[in-house]
């Protein structure tokens, strides 16, 4: 299930950072951009490490800006968070991604439905409409809640109280998977994991970077091994991010990671990328 995929998110204007965007007055451009349909989603496959089959895909938003070209999420998500636009933008991403997952379900039945992962920002977590919006999107699409996985960063949940956890708990009870994204970067108390309504741990790329080339630092191996066994003992699945080489994939498979994501398998790309991959699996 290895494919190069496209790398369409090379930004036309790499010098442009969040600060530059602000000074260009793009803050006011964000809502109009949503109305004009300038945002689009790339999908990056998640594969099962044991046999390389496709498990699903993560939705990653991009902005096709009329002057600056294609902007990556790091260039506008922080701004969208500060201005509150993240709520309608996030709702659009969810709706679009769920619609796409429904399409995959109708057209590619081999091996069960492709899961869809959608990122949730802290502002969306705090928004009172999260549960009703999500339920409405799922109901309108006819997609089973179990096909959706919402990714929340570890840092967003550090010290989270019940008010913040309740909506996630409600969604989890409906069958939506909740993944703890960028795990390992937030210094959270591991024992804390038990009280979070999460079913998937996404191990941050910083853990896998050291495994690109051999020999691998034995301490790195021990750390990942420990996290995987802890996760499994709490009945959490482990996804690894940023797998770029075959050597890395081999190590991480040996360490018991369940699913993986990274350039080695496929870069984020248009939804058709998933058709090609899942058809290849079925053959």
Beta carbon of residue 173, minimum distance to ligand C2E (angstroms, whole number) = 23
Q: What is the DSSP letter of 269?
A: B
Query: Closer CB to ligand C2E, residue 112 or residue 129?
Result: 129
Alpha-carbon span 121 to 132, nearest angstrom: 17
Q: Which is nearest to 55 in space by CA: 202, 155, 157?
A: 202
* Cβ burial, residue 205 (10 Å; 0-12/13-18/19+): middle
Closer residue to ligand C2E in complex, CB, 46/229:
46
**Where along the sequence are the contacts to Ca ion (CB under 5 A)?**
119, 151, 181-182
Which residue matches tokens 């991959």?
A: 277
- Minimum CB separation of residue 163 from ligand C2E in Å reads 20
In whole angstroms, what is the distance from residue 27 CA to residue 245 CA?
38
The binding site for ligand C2E (CB under 6 A) comprises: 44, 59-61, 72-74, 77, 90, 93, 119, 121, 181-182, 241-244, 261-263, 268
> In angstroms, what is the minimal distance from the CB of 283 to ligand C2E?
25
Nearest CB to ligand C2E, comparing residues 37 and 109: 37
Shortest distance, CB of residue 147 to Ca ion, whole angstroms? 17
72: partner contacted, choices Ca ion, ligand C2E, none (Cβ within 5-8 A by kind): ligand C2E
Rounded Cα gap, residues 170 and 69, in angstroms: 39
> C-beta of 46: minimal distance to Ca ion in Å?
10
**Residue 60 or residue 191: which is nearer to ligand C2E going by CB?**
60
H or E segment to which residue 131 belongs: helix 130-141
What would the two tokens of residue 10 be? 């090379």
Contact 258, 49 (CB under 8 A): yes
């Amino acid at each position: 299930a290895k494919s190069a995929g496209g790398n369409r998110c090379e930004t036309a204007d790499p010098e442009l950072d969040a600060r530059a965007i602000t000074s260009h007055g793009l803050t006011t451009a964000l809502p109009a951009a949503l109305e004009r349909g300038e945002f689009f989603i790339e999908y990056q496959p998640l594969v099962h490490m044991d046999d390389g089959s496709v498990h699903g895909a993560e939705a990653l938003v991009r902005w096709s800006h009329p002057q600056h070209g294609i902007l990556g999420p790091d260039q506008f998500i922080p701004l969208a968070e500060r201005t509150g636009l993240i709520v309608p933008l996030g709702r659009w991403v969810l709706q679009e991604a769920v619609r796409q997952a429904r399409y995959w379900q109708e057209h590619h039945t081999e091996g069960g439905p492709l899961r869809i992962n959608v990122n949730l920002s802290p502002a969306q977590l705090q928004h009172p409409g999260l549960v009703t919006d999500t339920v409405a999107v799922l109901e309108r699409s006819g997609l089973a809640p179990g096909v959706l996985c919402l990714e929340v960063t570890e840092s967003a949940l550090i010290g989270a109280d019940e008010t913040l956890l309740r909506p996630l708990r409600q969604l989890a009870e409906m069958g939506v998977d909740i993944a703890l994204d960028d795990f390992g970067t937030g210094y959270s108390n591991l024992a804390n994991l038990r009280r979070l309504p999460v079913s998937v741990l996404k191990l941050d790329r910083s853990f896998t970077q050291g495994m690109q080339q051999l020999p691998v630092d034995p301490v790195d191996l021990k750390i990942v091994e420990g996290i995987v066994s802890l996760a499994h003992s709490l009945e959490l699945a482990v996804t690894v991010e940023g797998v770029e080489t075959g050597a890395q994939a081999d190590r991480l498979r040996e360490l018991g990671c369940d699913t993986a994501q990274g350039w080695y398998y496929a870069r984020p790309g248009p939804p058709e990328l998933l058709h090609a991959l899942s058809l290849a699996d079925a053959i």
